[in-house]
Structure 1
Amino acid sequence: MKPYNRRLRILCLLLPMLCLSLLRPVPELRADPSAGASTDDREILQNSLSVVEIDREIERITAQQETIQQELNKLSGQLEDKLLQIQDQQSRAGAVIRSYYMGEREGLLVAVLSAKDLGSLIHMYDVYDMIMEHDRTVLDAYQSEYKEIKNTKLAMEKKTADLEEMKSNLIEQRARVSALQQKVDQGIASSSDPEALKKMIEEFTLYWENVGLNEVKTYFNALASAMNDLPEFIQNQDGAIRTNGTTYNIDIKEDDLNAFLRSKNDLFKQFAFHFGEDEITASGQSGTLSLEVQGHYSVEEQPQNSIMFHVDKLVFNGYELPDTTCRQMEEEFDLGFYPQQIVSFVKATEVKSTDKNLHVTLKLSM
């Protein structure tokens, strides 16, 4: 019995471990499956990566369409309710306006003025004031309901325009995916080893979705976090801010910015910014992972005055990602900075990059 009991106890100990091992996800791929791929195969992989990313954009647009359609349906219901409410207010307001037009309120005023003693005057004035207040309430209610209807209609028009733009964008992206997928299929068909190429594409797609995209987002998140502290860095940097009357000039040197970023996160020890003529490049490598971001800054007024970074090109491990991924990174991560956090009474009017220097011009905000 003792050996049996011992085996039973061992089984009881191993069973939970076995269950946990089954529940544990498959380890992520850490090495790029495309390493050593031929030039032709890399072109096919480039197209397959674009297909994956544009497919993600299609999913995002489709989800947004559904959300906007729900909002549009809700606004439509609100508009119907408002139209019913305003019919009653319109009738009340019409009666008030007619009473003024017909001179009925003038009689009330005459009655107040013809009061024979102070007590009668006060009483008549209270009655007159109460009627006037009621009139104002009716007219204000009508005006408020009418304004809400106008705002609801404008909101519906905006949502309808957004929906139409998204539908057009969706058609365009689907056409892009179809064309790219056709190139991928043709490349596989003409390959000397189609099955091996298919397997490489599958592994590379998994690698991108499980490792690559997360790494790209990790760097963008670190950059966005560091940008929050950029105003403080500029204020503490000797000579970074110069004044000339009502104009403020900010100069950020490439080396100073890179030193600042490295002080904020160890990720930037292998990652650096370079300022060129109207172009900014950020690139780096960690192990087998490499990332390059090319973009530019611009002055934006909406929703507030700011210096915003636009991603023009995004390259991961030598593969250029489609513009949809660039736009997504821009939307998800704020890499801009806000001059009024540096000097509260100014606004940015110009930003330009030259060799190893970023220059921002600020003017007094009147």
Structure 2
Amino acid sequence: MKAAGKHVRLIVLLVPLLLLSMLHSQPVLLADPVTPENADQQQILQKSLSIVEIDREIERVSKQQNDTQTEIKQLQDRLTEKQDQIKSRQERAGTVIRAYYMGERDNLFTILFSAKSLSNLLEIYSYYEMIMDQDRIVLDAYQSEYKNIRDMQQQMEKSYAQLTTIKENLLKQRERVVALQKELDSSVASSSDPEAMKKLIKEFTSYWENVGMYEVKRYFSALSSAMDDLPEFIQNKKGAIRTNGTTYSIDIQEKDLNEFLKSKNKLFDNFGFHFSDNKVIAAGESGNLSLQVEGHYSIENEPENSILFHVDKLVFNGLELPDTTCRQLEDEFDLGFYPQQIVSFVKATEVTSNDQMLHVKLKLSM
């Protein structure tokens, strides 16, 4: 009986832990995909991966299209409501303006001078001031409603333009998928073992969706988090900031940046940046996973002065991902940095990378 009681207590303890582990499940780690035997296999896998990613972009853009159409419908309803409201405002504002045009308010002002006593003057003035205040309220309300309508119309025009761009992008991505699918089907059919190739594609697709994208985002997230502390690192790095009159410059050496990243996250023990010929290459390996990111920095002034990183090329396990994935990661993770967090009164004007050095020129922003 005692042994049975212990088993019951053990089960009572283990069941909650099992439920918690189910709630916080990790990505399913599938077996490593078969390494492509030749360039033809690699091309086939790259096309299949591109189809998966562009399909995902189509899904995202389709949702964006639906959201924008909903937003336009809501704006149209609000605009109709505002236009109805402004009719009464317009009538009241017109009455006030006609009163001034016809000289009725001038007559009120003249009455002030007809007051026979100070108390009478104060009484007339209080009525006059009350009318003037009411006029201002009416005119201000009309002006405010009119501005709201104008702003909403501009917002709708912007949303319609955005919707047109979205539809064009959606059509373009669908055409890309159809063309890629035709190429892929033809390549698979002409391979030495089509069924084995289909199986390889399925395995690799599952591996990418369950492990690959998770790992890529894990690195991008770690990089984005580290970049938040880059301004402090530059401020504390002796010789990183130099001045010459009204101009400033920041020099970040490749080895210093890599040491900084390693100090922020162990993920970067086998991952590093390389600067050369206005190109930034970040690459690394972890077990059977390899990742290479190629990009460049640019100066942006909207919404604030910043040095943003653009992903030009993304290679996972030797397979290059499509531009849609690059744009998505670029939008989701901020890998740039902001000069005014380093020196508050300057703005970046130029950024170059060469000979293992990232060089930033700045000038006074006052």
Q: TM-score, normalised by structure 2?
A: 0.93
Please tell me the residue identity of whatever aligns with 1:340: Q
2:148 matched residue in structure 1? 148
2:262 matched residue in structure 1? 262
The structural deviation recorded for 1:26 is 11
The structural deviation recorded for 1:30 is 4.5
Please tell me the residue identity of whatever aligns with 1:163: L
Partner deviation per Cα, 1:111-149 (whole Å, 9 max, x = no partner):
012211111111111000100111111000000000000
Question: How far apart are the structure 2 equivalents of 1:358 and 1:26?
Answer: 37
- RMSD over equivalenced CA pairs, Å: 2.3
Give yes or no for contact 2:293–2:315 (8 Å, CA) kept in 1. Answer: yes
Alignment gaps of 5+ in structure 1:
none
Match status 1:312 vs 2:312: yes
Question: How far apart are the structure 2 equivalents of 1:272 and 1:30?
Answer: 27
Give yes or no for contact 1:28–1:207 (8 Å, CA) kept in 2. Answer: no
1:133 matched residue in structure 2? 133
2:84 matched residue in structure 1? 84
Partner deviation per Cα, 1:267-318 (whole Å, 9 max, x = no partner):
1110010000110000001111000000000000111110000000000000
Match status 1:278 vs 2:278: yes
1:163 matched residue in structure 2? 163
2:204 matched residue in structure 1? 204
- Partner SS state of residue 123, structure 1: helix
Q: Cα 1:359–1:26, aligned 2, differ >3 Å: closer, same or farther?
A: closer
Please tell me the residue identity of whatever aligns with 2:247: T
Question: How far apart are the structure 2 equivalents of 1:314 and 1:125?
Answer: 76
Q: Which runs of 4+ in 1 moved over 2 A?
A: 23-32
1:230 matched residue in structure 2? 230
2:290 matched residue in structure 1? 290
Percent of residue pairs bearing the same amino acid type: 61
Question: How far apart are the structure 2 equivalents of 1:128 and 1:291?
Answer: 77
2:361 matched residue in structure 1? 361
Give yes or no for contact 2:36–2:42 (8 Å, CA) kept in 1. Answer: no
Give yes or no for contact 1:34–1:42 (8 Å, CA) kept in 2. Answer: no
2:218 matched residue in structure 1? 218
Please tell me the residue identity of whatever aligns with 1:166: I
Q: Cα 1:137–1:244, aligned 2, differ >3 Å: closer, same or farther?
A: same
The structural deviation recorded for 1:58 is 0.3
Please tell me the residue identity of whatever aligns with 1:131: I
The structural deviation recorded for 1:36 is 4.2
Question: How far apart are the structure 2 equivalents of 1:147 and 1:357?
Answer: 51
Alignment gaps of 5+ in structure 2:
none
Q: Cα 1:26–1:274, aligned 2, differ >3 Å: closer, same or farther?
A: closer
Structure 2 counterparts to residues 343-354 of structure 1, below 5 A: 343-354=343-354
- Partner SS state of residue 208, structure 1: helix
Match status 1:71 vs 2:71: yes
The structural deviation recorded for 1:88 is 0.3
Please tell me the residue identity of whatever aligns with 2:229: D
The structural deviation recorded for 1:39 is 1.8
Give yes or no for contact 1:93–1:138 (8 Å, CA) kept in 2. Answer: yes
Give yes or no for contact 2:221–2:333 (8 Å, CA) kept in 1. Answer: yes
2:101 matched residue in structure 1? 101
Question: How far apart are the structure 2 equivalents of 1:205 and 1:109?
Answer: 83
The structural deviation recorded for 1:248 is 0.9
Please tell me the residue identity of whatever aligns with 1:147: K
Partner deviation per Cα, 1:97-119 (whole Å, 9 max, x = no partner):
00111111111000012211111
Question: How far apart are the structure 2 equivalents of 1:179 and 1:59?
Answer: 18
2:110 matched residue in structure 1? 110
Question: How far apart are the structure 1 equivalents of 2:188 and 2:123?
Answer: 95
The structural deviation recorded for 1:188 is 1.2
1:51 matched residue in structure 2? 51
Partner deviation per Cα, 1:200-229 (whole Å, 9 max, x = no partner):
100100000001000000000000000000
Give yes or no for contact 2:300–2:307 (8 Å, CA) kept in 1. Answer: yes
The structural deviation recorded for 1:244 is 1.1
Please tell me the residue identity of whatever aligns with 2:337: F
Give yes or no for contact 2:234–2:241 (8 Å, CA) kept in 1. Answer: yes
Give yes or no for contact 2:30–2:210 (8 Å, CA) kept in 1. Answer: no
Question: How far apart are the structure 2 equivalents of 1:196 and 1:26?
Answer: 29
Please tell me the residue identity of whatever aligns with 1:297: Y
Q: Which moved more, 1:166-175 or 1:61-70?
A: 61-70
Please tell me the residue identity of whatever aligns with 1:305: N
- Partner SS state of residue 178, structure 1: helix
Q: TM-score, normalised by structure 1?
A: 0.93
The structural deviation recorded for 1:29 is 3.9
Question: How far apart are the structure 2 equivalents of 1:114 and 1:247?
Answer: 69
Q: Cα 1:118–1:143, aligned 2, differ >3 Å: closer, same or farther?
A: same
Question: How far apart are the structure 2 equivalents of 1:242 and 1:261?
Answer: 23
Question: How far apart are the structure 2 equivalents of 1:31 and 1:363?
Answer: 53
1:249 matched residue in structure 2? 249
The structural deviation recorded for 1:70 is 1.1
